[in-house]
Chains A and B, each alone.
Chain A
Amino acid sequence: MSRYLVACDAGGTMTDVIVVDEQGRSVIGKAPTTPEDESVGYIESLEEALRYMGLDMEADGHAFCGSVETAIYTGTSMLNALLNLSGLRTGLIVTRGFEDIIVQGRGSQSFIDYQWSEITHMQYRKHRRPLVPRELTRGVTERVDLFGAPVIPLYEQEAEAAVRELLEAGIESLAILFLNSFTNPSHEREAESIARRVMSEMDREVPLVISSEVAPTLREVSRANATVIQAYASAPAREQLLGVEKRLTEIGYRHSLKTVLCYGGVTNIRYPRLFETVMSGPVGGIMGAHYLCDVIGEDNIVCSDVGGTSFDAGAITAGVLPINREPPFQQMYVNVPMLDIRSIGAGTGTYIRLEPQTRRIKLGPDSAGGTPGPVFQEAGNETATINDANLLLGILNEDYYLGGRVSVNKEKSYQVFKKEIADPLGLDVYVAAEQCVDLVNVLMREHLVRSLMVGHDLRDYVLLGYGGGGPLHLLGYAGDYPWKAVCTVPHAGAFSAWGGACMDYAHRRHKSVSAMLPPAADDAAKAMVTRVLSSTWRQLEEELLEELLSEGFEREKISLRQIAYIRYYGQLEDVEVESPVPSLDSTEDLDALLARHQELYTKMFTLVARPSQPTYHFTEVSVIAQVDTVKPRLARKELEGKRPRKQASKGKRRVFQKGRWQEAAIFEMGELRPGNAITGLAVIEAPNTTLFMPADWGLRIDEHEIYWLERRKKR
């Protein structure tokens, strides 16, 4: 039997399993997610995948699982614990005077993900429900200053009393956070030691987390959130993961289960900082795109994912994954390095309404999503959505929606659209529908171009579209911007799950530092900076190597990358700069690092933004340790002719475009082959997605089954 990789992505509703063999062939199985015991959903979706492979779980499951080289699982248990407040009863010990740190957060947390009109509307302000209630927080007198000097020693008796009180209050886990502990963790360690002694005395052991081990970086609110998430949700999540692993082992799997890190990469489910897996849902798509970089020979890719409710995007630049070190997450800022994926509320289920006072078209930001879905699904929604417009325009096939599994009432969409949108605007229904689709495409395009691509030249980037609605809107939001190329993949709806199978084994550590380099610094000053950076890199490298070696990896398989975060003194934002050399051994090495910073900074913020006499401030460093793993191979296939096979053609359908009805060629995606070429106006249908090609676009399918979309030259 062949060797396999099995990647499983448990979403809020459905669990997807993708099985990939050594040739890169894949099948996908789906089953409802089972939050109480996630192993059930995993096994059921695996069963379906095996059925597509012609295997029976009962008869062949053990042999199959025995040949699985890597099993990856992206669960929802940690996310669900935060959403449902079902994590451990957690106590928090903080620097005295900061007992409200979690309930109070910071103002900007109360409007994360709001639109501007909602930000100005003060009645909408809302902090999230805290993971640790105020009643389970205790303050302890201590202070460390920004240089790491312990100005006020830890008041041990207060620490001991705090631990006792919290244990008596029935906490199930304990988090400790002191200010500036990332510069000097001694007070946190002292408090940890006291807590362990008290637990022992009281015979009550609970998981204990200190912030300087979890996320030793600046900004106490975000560090507190990260630390609390680890204390609150990691133990139950790990239990679920171990349960899944146990079940897989029972049916023949012979290795440890892996899970997905927020910053892209897989790790063993016994990984200590499990909170770094808290948001792995959108990771798959970016990592799939990252993997495609090598396949298609491009290292700048803009990844765009259109779902039912949101449009998610991230940019890979020079092969480097986009990282946000303090991302917003669940109405909190967290010191967790996460893939920088920016989202807006625009998708195929986005509601279309008219603003009552000025009759302006308003899209979302809320949506009907998959449930209750567009009006035509007749599942209770009476408000028009983008997909109602797509149906009215003839782009979606009323007889083949989700492969024909869902019945469609097009007349209902028409009536709702006419009454609620077209008539009040004084427009023909189809004209109004086209304008709404154009508008959502503009919102998506603007999100990419303005929000994501500040300081980057689109001509250097390939735009990749995926997600169930990706191919439907891709060319709309690609627009006439000068992308280097535009592409999508077949089965775009399952691309994120596929991407989950494409990750390397990776660990990442960050640490705040503070080193300054004044204008015209001499060699001695430069040497001091290089010492700070190099010694911190060495420290992080040692920590990472220890983790990976203990997991059984050989040293020579582990590669290390060093990163510095640099700003001009006084700024609050820095620029991520990968060191051109692994170790700064000379002032020339430091100059090379600064030259790289200047190059990036000028590109991002214009030349005028650069100070004439810069003082550099080095604020943070990080190291990425990576081990290459077996990944699905995108098999190179024989190219067939440009003309698709006969069975690929599904005839013609009228599509409303540019204000008139036009004949579009219809194709079945599953019947298209590498080498085929199609010109617009065309619709290419698959059960889980639809690729729409306007008249001025052409399609070419390459040997890896990447769909390249090119604007046709005007005659």
Chain B
Amino acid sequence: MNVGSGNEGRMLKDRLVENDRLFEETGCLFGLKTLARKEEDPGTYESVWHILLNICNTAWTVGCKVSSSAIAAEGGDALWSLHLPTGEAICTSKGILSHPGLLSMLLRAYIEDDYERDPGFRLGDVFENNDPHYGGIHSPDFQTTIPIFYEGELVAWAASVTHVMDAGFILPGSIGFMNPDSFSDGVPVTMERVGENDRFYPWYEKRMRVRTRTPDWVMGDARGRLAGCLTIRDRIVQLIDKYGIDFFREATEEYIEDGRRYAVARIKTQAVPGRLRKSNFKDLAMAGKRVILPHQDIDCLFNLPLEINIGADAKLDISLRGASGWVPFGQNLTPAAIISGVLNGYSHVVGFDMFNWGAVAAWEIETPPEGSWANPFPVNPFASSGVGWAPAVMWMSSLYETFGRVYYTRGYVEEVAAGAATTLTAEFSGTNQYGLYTAGMTLEQASNGSPARGIADGENSAWCIYTPNADFGNAEVSELFYPILYLGRNIEPDSGGYGKFRGGLGHTAVWMIANTPGIEYQCGCAGMRSKVVGNHGMFGAYPTWPDRPSYARGTNVKDLIDARRPLVHERGDPEEPDLEKNVEASVLESNIIAPFVTPEKLHEYDLVVHPISGAQAFGDPLERDPALVKSDLDKGWTRSWVAETVHGVVAKKGDGDQGWIVDEEATAIKREGLRQARIKRGVPFRQWWEKERKKIEARENISPAVLRMWRSAMELSPEYASELRAFWGLAEDFSF
């Protein structure tokens, strides 16, 4: 035991208390009103910052090369970071930026729970956690931390997270949307010391070998995390040798306070004070589908409200007041993960530099309503977080749009990003082409279109809300892992909403099952919508459509091939999908409401059509430059009826390589006609409000899922309920 591993023999727990007091008193982290090291020697301050970044990124290189998982190495779902002795993240590698916040809070939890006394922190110790109750997000994300000592004193922590291919859930894979409760959330590692002397304990590998379905990949990831952490530790010691322990101690605290100041300054220079709200919903429709327990045979709708108050001092107060209740699926999150999620969203839309724990001190997040999907455990400690990210991913999309509005107000039009795309995952489990058991996720969802910019279309297949390392890799690599053949991976037309600028387009993967006696396809929800639209687009744009995959089992594809008949390579026109048009099958499910797990195994020549959404659009589709519409028509990225009925662009296909030819005169007439039709269709707000109010009062035509959502939202957040009732002029005792 090494009691008093903190500074000057003080317990780390005492330092935590002291740090909190200093921040409370001064408004500056660690009480740093001035950044002395930075002011005295800005060059060295900057140099060491770059060295620390490089150390973390070197760990990323080492860890990802060691890791066995396509998710980490090819998909970038990993991260390595450096932390103060008290846990605050100093800097991070590239990767998924929602993790540093959680790792900071996990390390704080070790200290608050007196781990410093028992079991103690020693050189060579390896601690791990994947438990959402104690600082995890969901159990596939394993968090490894090791202490870094210098001359016997604990001076920092190295930490890492990777998302493993199979977490030992009740169903195979790592997207446990179907988990009914925490008992089905797979192999638990709850704030444990899992190794010492820089090695995992033998029992750790034994546990993974029998409690996960792909132990080689899971252990490969574990080795990758640890190898990266050891890389950080060795190099931090070298760095301290060079710059001295005093400099390291002081400068690392200054980096975090500087990060806070940067976050505040970005808001000050680009935003305006005020109250911002964004309404947002997500569905999880499971009624009538294969589920684990009978009570899961229901549809769920999540209320994902976001309110941000920007103060005159540029401090943000963020609230999820009105969040609906927990769900009996693996789609619940914790307040700690919400904080970390905001950190991720912040890095995409507010701050792009000096990224660390400091930004967290620039905002306050009101504890989400107890019993809501964002804070279930006080009411239901057994709620599942199998893929807790799912609602948060959608909620973060609101963050994009909300900040977009503020930036637009201040004139930073080029910084506007309309809402993000969704995350529809595909997992396969069963016997693979080598005769071995496999379970894991393809990388399709890791590369959506990017949101429309205030000045241009979004970029196709180039962004992912949960990681800026957006990439879906190569089809040939995925085929090494799973018994599938890609029949298509093209850009999906019109998948980026409709606006003056459209969102970047997504793509559709078409797979034919091959070289297997049978395999399950899980069309998972890691942040998707299938019944309600995904966000709404900004400033008059129309939203992109919900996520709707398709599959066919027991097909005549072999016969089609033998006869050289057309197969299925894309989704085709939504009104007449290619799957329905070209294929006969014993089971043919087209444009299914996701998510779902195929009720029976798929076999050779069965087909799956898996669409990945584009992002949201910006501005009125009637203001879209006809030249952009023509360009999309020429590439096959929009359809002529969309061009005409949505954008009001009249065009006809020209001869040879002329492409489409826009009839400018007819376009002007068409657009004017569409505008007049809008005016005719529109009603005064008061009139609309009164009509809707009557429906609400009568609870008319409202599905049970919607009723449950509003009922729980109002019960869990009385203030929100009062406001809702006041807006609609409802009785004080009104409830759904």
Q: Across the interface, which residues of B come within 8 angstroms of A553, CB to CB? A: none
Quick check: is A360 within 8 A (CB to CB) of the other chain? yes
Given known contacts A104-B490, A125-B459, is B479 in contact with A180 (CB within 8 Å)? yes
Q: Is the CB of A97 within 8 A of B479?
A: no
Chain B, residue nearest A108 (CB): B471
Q: Across the interface, which residues of B come within 8 angstroms of A117, CB to CB? A: 352-353
Q: Is the CB of B74 within 8 A of A572?
A: yes
- A626-B464 Cα distance, complex, nearest whole Å: 45
Given known contacts A219-B476, A450-B58, A571-B68, is B216 in contact with A611 (CB within 8 Å)? yes
Q: Across the interface, which residues of B come within 8 angstroms of A571, CB to CB? A: 65-68, 73, 220
Q: Is the CB of B567 within 8 A of A141?
A: yes
Q: Which residues 432-471 of B have a CB within 8 angstroms of A?
A: 433-434, 446-447, 450-451, 453, 458-464, 468-471
Given known contacts A180-B479, A446-B54, is B514 in contact with A145 (CB within 8 Å)? yes
Interface-lining segment among A147-155, A272-280, A528-536: A147-155
Contact for B44 among A125, A179, A438, A604, CB less than 8 A: A438
- A143-B266 Cα distance, complex, nearest whole Å: 51
Given known contacts A135-B659, A145-B479, A358-B354, is B220 in contact with A568 (CB within 8 Å)? yes
Q: Across the interface, which residues of B come within 8 angstroms of A122, CB to CB? A: 348-349, 417, 450-451, 463, 468
Q: Across the interface, which residues of A come within 8 angstroms of B62, CB to CB? A: 454-455, 604-606, 609
Contact for B564 among A135, A139, A157, A435, CB less than 8 A: A157
Contact for A107 among B49, B261, B447, B656, CB less than 8 A: B447
- A218-B453 Cα distance, complex, nearest whole Å: 35
Quick check: is A86 within 8 A (CB to CB) of the other chain? no
Contact for B657 among A110, A169, A611, CB less than 8 A: A169
Q: Is the CB of A97 within 8 A of B476?
A: no
Interface centre among B355, B512, B635 (most CB of A within 10 A): B635
Given known contacts A125-B462, A454-B58, is B491 in contact with A104 (CB within 8 Å)? yes
Counting chain A residues whose Cβ lies within 8 A of the other chain, the interface size class is 35 or more
Quick check: is B151 within 8 A (CB to CB) of the other chain? no
Contact for A360 among B44, B46, B219, B634, CB less than 8 A: B46
Given known contacts A134-B636, A219-B477, A360-B46, is B94 in contact with A119 (CB within 8 Å)? yes
Contact for B459 among A110, A119, A516, A569, CB less than 8 A: A110
Chain B, residue nearest A357 (CB): B265
Given known contacts A97-B487, A218-B477, A572-B74, is B54 in contact with A360 (CB within 8 Å)? no
Quick check: is B39 within 8 A (CB to CB) of the other chain? yes
Quick check: is B51 within 8 A (CB to CB) of the other chain? yes
Q: Across the interface, which residues of B come within 8 angstroms of A438, CB to CB? A: 43-44, 47
Q: Is the CB of A155 within 8 A of B564?
A: yes
Q: How far is the CB of A137 from chain B (nearest CB, A)?
A: 10
Q: Is the CB of B352 within 8 A of A439?
A: no
Interface centre among A151, A169, A180 (most CB of B within 10 A): A151
Contact for A153 among B73, B348, B486, B561, CB less than 8 A: B561
Q: Across the interface, which residues of A come within 8 angstroms of B54, CB to CB? A: 446-447, 449-451
Q: Is the CB of B354 within 8 A of A570?
A: no
Q: How far is the CB of B348 from chain A (nearest CB, A)?
A: 6
Quick check: is A123 within 8 A (CB to CB) of the other chain? yes
Q: Is the CB of B58 within 8 A of A439?
A: no
Q: Across the interface, which residues of A come within 8 angstroms of B150, CB to CB? A: none
Quick check: is B570 within 8 A (CB to CB) of the other chain? yes
Q: How far is the CB of A25 from chain B (nearest CB, A)?
A: 42
Q: Is the CB of A573 within 8 A of B43?
A: no
Quick check: is A663 within 8 A (CB to CB) of the other chain? no
Given known contacts A97-B487, A146-B433, A358-B258, is B66 in contact with A427 (CB within 8 Å)? no
Q: Across the interface, which residues of B come within 8 angstroms of A127, CB to CB? A: 459-460, 462
Contact for B262 among A104, A146, A357, CB less than 8 A: A357
Chain A, residue nearest B216 (CB): A570
Q: Which residues 85-122 of A have a CB within 8 angstroms of B?
A: 96-101, 103-108, 110-111, 116-122
Quick check: is A425 within 8 A (CB to CB) of the other chain? yes
Q: Across the interface, which residues of A come within 8 angstroms of B55, CB to CB? A: 450
Quick check: is A170 within 8 A (CB to CB) of the other chain? yes
Q: Is the CB of A145 within 8 A of B476?
A: no
- A361-B94 Cα distance, complex, nearest whole Å: 21
Q: Is the CB of A425 within 8 A of B489?
A: no
Q: Is the CB of A606 within 8 A of B231?
A: yes
Quick check: is A168 within 8 A (CB to CB) of the other chain? yes
Q: Across the interface, which residues of B come within 8 angstroms of A359, CB to CB? A: 42
- A694-B488 Cα distance, complex, nearest whole Å: 61
- A103-B414 Cα distance, complex, nearest whole Å: 24
Given known contacts A135-B635, A179-B475, A570-B69, is B51 in contact with A446 (CB within 8 Å)? yes
- A118-B351 Cα distance, complex, nearest whole Å: 11
Q: Which residues 213-227 of B have a CB within 8 angstroms of A?
A: 216-217, 219-220, 223-224, 226-227
Quick check: is A443 within 8 A (CB to CB) of the other chain? yes
Contact for A361 among B46, B414, B446, B474, CB less than 8 A: B46
Quick check: is B61 within 8 A (CB to CB) of the other chain? yes
- A615-B634 Cα distance, complex, nearest whole Å: 49
Q: How far is the CB of B606 from chain A (nearest CB, A)?
A: 13
Q: Is the CB of B479 within 8 A of A222?
A: no
Q: Is the CB of B462 within 8 A of A110?
A: yes
Q: Across the interface, which residues of A come within 8 angstroms of B634, CB to CB? A: 134-135
Q: Is the CB of A611 within 8 A of B451?
A: no
Q: Is the CB of A361 within 8 A of B67?
A: no
Q: Is the CB of A609 within 8 A of B657?
A: no
Contact for A119 among B235, B460, B469, B475, CB less than 8 A: B469
Q: Is the CB of A435 within 8 A of B44?
A: yes
Quick check: is B230 within 8 A (CB to CB) of the other chain? yes
Contact flags B99-133 to A (C-beta < 8 A → 1, else 0): 00000000000000000000000000000000000
Q: Across the interface, which residues of B come within 8 angstroms of A139, CB to CB? A: 569
Q: Across the interface, which residues of B come within 8 angstroms of A439, CB to CB? A: 43, 46-47, 50
Q: Which residues 243-289 of A have a CB within 8 angstroms of B?
A: none
Interface centre among B50, B262, B451, B463 (most CB of A within 10 A): B50
Quick check: is A220 within 8 A (CB to CB) of the other chain? yes
Quick check: is A480 within 8 A (CB to CB) of the other chain? yes
Contact for B490 among A99, A219, A572, CB less than 8 A: A99
Chain B, residue nearest A221 (CB): B474
Quick check: is B90 within 8 A (CB to CB) of the other chain? no
Given known contacts A151-B485, A220-B476, A572-B70, is B471 in contact with A107 (CB within 8 Å)? yes
Q: Is the CB of B58 within 8 A of A612?
A: no
Given known contacts A97-B488, A450-B54, A608-B226, is B42 in contact with A361 (CB within 8 Å)? yes
Q: How far is the CB of B124 from chain A (nearest CB, A)?
A: 11
Chain A, residue nearest B76 (CB): A108
Taking Cβ atoms with an 8 Å cutoff, the residues of B that contact A are 38-39, 41-47, 49-51, 53-55, 57-58, 61-62, 64-70, 73-74, 94, 97, 198-200, 205, 216-217, 219-220, 223-224, 226-227, 230-231, 235, 242, 258, 261-262, 265-266, 269, 347-349, 352-355, 414-415, 417, 433-434, 446-447, 450-451, 453, 458-464, 468-477, 479-480, 485-491, 504, 507, 510, 512, 514-515, 561, 564, 566-567, 569-570, 634-636, 656-657, 659
Give the 9 A-B residue pairs with the shortest CB-CB distance, closest first. Answer: A435-B43, A97-B488, A97-B569, A357-B265, A107-B447, A570-B68, A450-B54, A107-B470, A442-B47
Known: A361-B43, A455-B62. 9 other contacts (CB 8 A): A97-B487, A107-B447, A119-B94, A133-B635, A151-B512, A152-B567, A220-B475, A361-B46, A446-B51
Q: What are 24 A-B interface contacts by the 8 Å CB criterion?
A: A104-B461, A107-B462, A111-B468, A117-B353, A120-B97, A121-B348, A121-B352, A125-B458, A125-B463, A134-B635, A145-B514, A145-B515, A147-B433, A151-B514, A155-B564, A168-B656, A356-B269, A357-B265, A359-B42, A438-B44, A454-B61, A608-B198, A608-B230, A611-B223
